[in-house]
Structure 1
Amino acid sequence: MEKGASEPDPSHQRNGVVGVLYGEFTDTLNDRVRYSVSLTESALTIQMISSSPGRTKVVFNLTDCVGCRAYRGPDSADVGAYFTAYFYPFKRRWMSAGVARQRVEQCFRVALVQDPLANLQEAERWARAIRDASARQAPRRDGVVYMEVRRPCRVMILVNPLSGRGQALQLFTGHIQGMLTEAAVPYTLVITEHQNHARELVKKADLSQCDALVIMSGDGLLFEVINGLMEREDWQEAIQTPLGILPGGSGNALAASVHHYSQSPPAWNEELLLSCGFMLCKGLVGSLDLVSIHLASRQRLFSFLSLAWGFVADVDIESEKYRHVGAIRFLMGTLVRLASLRVYQGRLAYLPINEEPKLPKGSIKANHPPSTPQHPSLCASLPCRLIPNTSPNQNSRHNHTSTNSNHNTITNSSNNAITTKRPETQSDGKSRAPVDSLLPGLDQPVPESWTVVKEEEFVLVLAIYQSHLAEDLWTVPGATADDGTIHLFYVTAGISRPALLRLFLAMEKGAHLACGCPHLVYEKVKALRLEPISPQGMITVDGEMVEYGPVQAQIQPGLARLIYG
């Protein structure tokens, strides 16, 4: 055995730092290059061994490590073994400002003795020690209570191959597949084939065989998954399944929000995907608020992102025709809609977060019973296709005949048709869904503690519960995934086209509330009701178009679980 190899480092102990492992190894390409390697509870330190002063020293924070593996070399005559650690530290972007996570691997050759098995055992000892230490150094944020996905975890990854510009599957194989291998995360890949495929799948899936559900798509596929989980008889347990998001669509609002919550520098496109993949590999789980939404037809939906009426909903749906250009579709849709700006008539009421009547400018306390139109629809169901991760590249050979995008029309079924007063119960008395204690029936007036907005002409109404509405729209700078708040924005009639455009441009940096726009109102609420009066319009939930008519919503704090750092 080489001198000092795989022994505790006395220098670390003298300085009050407990040394986990110390060893001397060679470079994988050149046996003449040797390194001293020190592993502590928080870092892996690598120093080149040479006779010259000022030896090169590199320190890797184990917070940035996703995994480490040990293995034999390809040459059977090689008695040495190897271990490779995988890091994703923040490094300066190439030819641009700022930093982003970038992949770095550190590989060492272990040839302490002439016994190949002994060398492999030593490499495995180091790999195991690095994995264990990095698991204890996940990037936790102060004030957030985390759980951890069980290790090794079993993940089901659902990919919509038509989302965004139709590149979700290629993005997965090009960026995420390797990360999961490095982190030793086993997964099953599911390619969705039609609208509501994911919804039907998770309604019937054996979730005991799955430690997490991960969506590689835009926000629409996660909407399907959440509502499928909430339609199960065992919804209480099912909705506790940790959910992960990998951006593969156009908007990617939740992915941008998750990245923001990790307190990382801003990221877009592949950098955002890498950040979300890194958080998935680290496996920290926090709470996620959901919002229970009731439609006039008595259909009940569960939302994780937003409820929109007017300008935002129009842009989201009408920009579908520009989906092939990616995220820029929203800018194109915004410019088109600004050219023929619409004003909608309707009534808006909300329960402020402090439950006290609050009368902002233009608001009164009043009650307006809504109308209750009916819009029944049907829910499609087809079998799924499961693809294990042993041959993921085969996915691209499948033909997808569906022409629908990941923005699907929300449909109704007997399983989710409920009354607005009492949740449906099973034979054993268990509730099929959480009770919305703050909401009266849609045919009843709102309570006196609610605020009713006097204005009846709106350009937009947006209720959002995450920080971002899209990758480049930082809508609620102070939001968190579990703040128990619906962040309500509305813009009243009378705003000019240039002023509305300035608001959305300012939203890219989260500065829209500082614009001093008299037509923009922002409130933190627990519940709301929207009653459109204009005969035509669009309402969206998480970017998906729902039936047009009266709608009300209530926050359900911490109902779901989300993987984020």
Structure 2
Amino acid sequence: MSTADTAQDAHDSTVTVDSVSLTLGTDSLLIVDDRSARPNRHCCGLFKSAPQTTHAISLYNVLGAEVTASNLVIAYAQPAGKDDVAVATVQYPVVEKEKKLVEAWVGKLIDSAYGKAIRGKRLKVLVNPFGGKGTAASLYQRYAAPVFAAAKCQVDVQSTEHRGHAIDIAEKLDVDAYDAIVCCSGDGLPYEVFNGLGKRPDARTALVKTAIALLPCGSGNGMTWNAFGTGSVSIAALAIVKGLRTPLDLVSISQKNSRTLSFLSQSFGIVAESDLATENIRWMGAQRFTYGFLVRLMRQTIWPCDLAVKVEIGDKEAIKEHYATWSTRPEESDVDIKRLEAAAQSPELPELKYGSVTDDVPSDWQVVPGETMGNFYAGNMAIMSKDTNMFPATLPDDGLMDVVTIDGRVSRGTAITMMNEIPSGRFFDMPELNIRKASAYRLVPHQKEGYISIDGERVPFEAFQAEVHQGLGTILTKSDRIYEAEGPR
């Protein structure tokens, strides 16, 4: 028999149904169940009461709630092992006279659980059946689909059929029909989606309207680690449900006959080789990068080049100050409205401020010695893969990328130490690491053959120029301000 207090204010944080009180806290839903405390007759004719039970559910984990014909039903993501969540529900009987009160409380629960996040997101899900270890489809069905269903997301699933297929899909997509494109893959599919949106005549509008997210089904999964801080498909699915629209800097990469967009990183030298020259051992997963790095490190190879950088901040302490100031700046309202208004004025991709790689290098760019280049790495995200927080000072939308150079003449021991310091966060302060905040750069290889990696994808081994476009793209993140990486200390 229900004991709900019908005089209770509909705006109160607590509702009671069937001897169960449910209270909205700052960050959790507290459920106190007194039903087990009702006396029950035992064999000796005595009455015995069991203690009440208490259950706390993080509001972040609440997926949905509704009042059905006879029950209050709450769906949530329950921890399932060390690195997963699974959908669970609790339900309690509600009598007719209580429904209005309970429905009002459910509205407050959903408001608290979702905050600024879009509810019931409309998701275009792209599954790459060939990426990583070829398990993306099964990972999606097992770990992500139940979370999206419980959150009442509208889902349209499509498998990509060949390399570049996601470019075609994004280029022709009705961007008004979806809130986000979710890639079940490694970082290759988001790279294709950004470039597909970038090929449209309304590229800037499409890139603002359509958020991109990644379910980690590949080798590196850098986007997921940065946006959500996890390599778990189920936890990433929950993060997408609760994800906040976040402006993202994109980088134009111009070569002799092309212009592409980069969202993650560009590399030349040992990191590019460790990534692209290990395609034959993809079965090793993320460990192939470490293996490739160590093999090349022992050879102490150098990759000579010409490098010129449009440096905006060149001092490590100043970079730390910039990170602290930007990451704690006051929240700006109507960001998306302003971005869409700007896109409406100029719908195509932004013009290249510094021209292309075939133009003269601007006179105010800094020339960086590159005859003994061991590694060149530029990033607009912090984490490249699990435990590789290589760019802790990067921010999603400050209009700058981090350009890292390391001389190839450092000793093998120092190079190994640098690699080991990446997970600890001390990599940033090592004197062998040169880091600059930049808005553009140009790199010209001296060799005729080698590897250049853009977001993990191989591009022609020739001169290229990079230029940042502030807040051109959109992703989903947990914070909507910073990446899920420890900043520089």
- TM-score over 0.5 (shorter chain): yes
Of 71, 81, 95, 2:71 maps to 81
Equivalent residue, structure 1, for 2:22: 37
Alignment of 1:234-313 (within 5 A): 234-240=202-208, 241-260=210-229, 267-268=230-231, 270=232, 273-297=233-257, 299-313=258-272
The whole-number CA distance in structure 1 between the counterparts of 2:414 and 2:224 is: 28
2:205–2:347 Cα contact (<8 Å) kept: no
Tell me the amino acid that sits aligned with residue 187 of structure 2. Answer: D
Structure 1 window deviating more from structure 2 (496-505 vs 278-287): it is 496-505
Cα shift at 1:274: 2.9
The whole-number CA distance in structure 1 between the counterparts of 2:416 and 2:246 is: 35
> Is 1:531 aligned to 2:421, yes or no?
no
Tell me the amino acid that sits aligned with residue 38 of structure 1. Answer: T
> Is 1:66 aligned to 2:63, yes or no?
yes
Q: Could you state the TM-score of these two structures normalised by the residue count of structure 2?
A: 0.82
> Is 1:169 aligned to 2:84, yes or no?
no
2:300–2:408 Cα contact (<8 Å) kept: no
SS at 1:449 equivalent: coil
Deviation per residue, 1:474-508 (Å, 9 max, x gap): 11123222232210111112122232222222212
Of 497, 500, 504, 2:419 maps to 504
Cα shift at 1:81: 3.4
2:393–2:402 Cα contact (<8 Å) kept: no
The whole-number CA distance in structure 2 between the counterparts of 1:503 and 1:130 is: 52
C-alpha distance 528-7 of structure 1, shift in aligned 2 (>3 A)? farther
RMSD (CA atoms): 2.9
Cα shift at 1:55: 3.9
1:24–1:36 Cα contact (<8 Å) kept: yes
Cα shift at 1:558: 0.7
Cα shift at 1:128: 7.4
Tell me the amino acid that sits aligned with residue 282 of structure 1. Answer: K
C-alpha distance 359-248 of structure 1, shift in aligned 2 (>3 A)? closer
Equivalent residue, structure 1, for 2:191: 223
Equivalent residue, structure 1, for 2:43: none
1:6–1:24 Cα contact (<8 Å) kept: no
Of 164, 188, 192, 2:160 maps to 192
Q: Could you state the TM-score of these two structures normalised by the residue count of structure 1?
A: 0.71
Cα shift at 1:334: 1.9
Structure 1 window deviating more from structure 2 (223-232 vs 329-338): it is 329-338
Equivalent residue, structure 2, for 1:394: none
The whole-number CA distance in structure 2 between the counterparts of 1:182 and 1:336 is: 46
SS at 2:20 equivalent: strand
Of 60, 79, 90, 1:107 maps to 90
Deviation per residue, 1:434-454 (Å, 9 max, x gap): 0221x1442333222211013
1:42–1:133 Cα contact (<8 Å) kept: no
SS at 1:353 equivalent: strand
2:251–2:467 Cα contact (<8 Å) kept: yes
2:66–2:106 Cα contact (<8 Å) kept: no
Tell me the amino acid that sits aligned with residue 312 of structure 2. Answer: I
SS at 1:470 equivalent: coil
2:21–2:31 Cα contact (<8 Å) kept: yes
C-alpha distance 233-342 of structure 1, shift in aligned 2 (>3 A)? same
Deviation per residue, 1:511-560 (Å, 9 max, x gap): 212333x3x31111111110111122111110101111111111111111
List gaps (5 residues or longer) in structure 1: 26-33, 73-79, 95-99, 113-117, 140-146, 261-266, 361-427
Of 276, 299, 302, 1:340 maps to 299
Structure 1 window deviating more from structure 2 (318-327 vs 493-502): it is 493-502
C-alpha distance 128-256 of structure 1, shift in aligned 2 (>3 A)? farther
Equivalent residue, structure 1, for 2:463: 550
Tell me the amino acid that sits aligned with residue 218 of structure 2. Answer: G
Tell me the amino acid that sits aligned with residue 181 of structure 2. Answer: L
The whole-number CA distance in structure 2 between the counterparts of 1:430 and 1:561 is: 17
Equivalent residue, structure 2, for 1:434: 350
C-alpha distance 294-7 of structure 1, shift in aligned 2 (>3 A)? farther
2:6–2:101 Cα contact (<8 Å) kept: no
Tell me the amino acid that sits aligned with residue 458 of structure 1. Answer: M
Aligned pairs, how many? Answer: 438
Tell me the amino acid that sits aligned with residue 489 of structure 1. Answer: V
2:382–2:389 Cα contact (<8 Å) kept: yes
1:203–1:229 Cα contact (<8 Å) kept: yes
Tell me the amino acid that sits aligned with residue 107 of structure 1. Answer: V
Tell me the amino acid that sits aligned with residue 24 of structure 1. Answer: V
SS at 2:120 equivalent: coil
SS at 1:436 equivalent: coil
C-alpha distance 40-338 of structure 1, shift in aligned 2 (>3 A)? closer
Equivalent residue, structure 1, for 2:273: 314
SS at 2:286 equivalent: helix
Deviation per residue, 1:226-247 (Å, 9 max, x gap): 0000100111211111111111
The whole-number CA distance in structure 2 between the counterparts of 1:131 and 1:3 is: 21
C-alpha distance 129-279 of structure 1, shift in aligned 2 (>3 A)? farther
SS at 2:384 equivalent: strand
The whole-number CA distance in structure 2 between the counterparts of 1:86 and 1:469 is: 30
1:254–1:305 Cα contact (<8 Å) kept: yes
Tell me the amino acid that sits aligned with residue 73 of structure 2. Answer: F
Of 17, 24, 40, 1:24 maps to 17
2:120–2:151 Cα contact (<8 Å) kept: no
Deviation per residue, 1:76-100 (Å, 9 max, x gap): xxxx5351331457x9x65xxxxx6
2:129–2:160 Cα contact (<8 Å) kept: yes
Equivalent residue, structure 2, for 1:415: none
Cα shift at 1:432: 2.9
Equivalent residue, structure 2, for 1:454: 369
Cα shift at 1:509: 2.8
Of 33, 46, 55, 2:31 maps to 46
C-alpha distance 500-429 of structure 1, shift in aligned 2 (>3 A)? same
C-alpha distance 492-182 of structure 1, shift in aligned 2 (>3 A)? same
The whole-number CA distance in structure 1 between the counterparts of 2:418 and 2:200 is: 41
Deviation per residue, 1:417-461 (Å, 9 max, x gap): xxxxxxxxxxx9956310221x14423332222110134221111
The whole-number CA distance in structure 2 between the counterparts of 1:128 and 1:195 is: 49
Cα shift at 1:101: 6.5
Cα shift at 1:135: 3.7
Alignment of 1:111-126 (within 5 A): 112=95, 118=96, 122=99, 126=102
Tell me the amino acid that sits aligned with residue 228 of structure 2. Answer: H
The whole-number CA distance in structure 2 between the counterparts of 1:21 and 1:440 is: 61
1:309–1:461 Cα contact (<8 Å) kept: yes
Of 138, 149, 167, 1:181 maps to 149
Equivalent residue, structure 2, for 1:472: 387
The whole-number CA distance in structure 1 between the counterparts of 2:103 and 2:243 is: 19
Of 86, 95, 106, 1:130 maps to 106
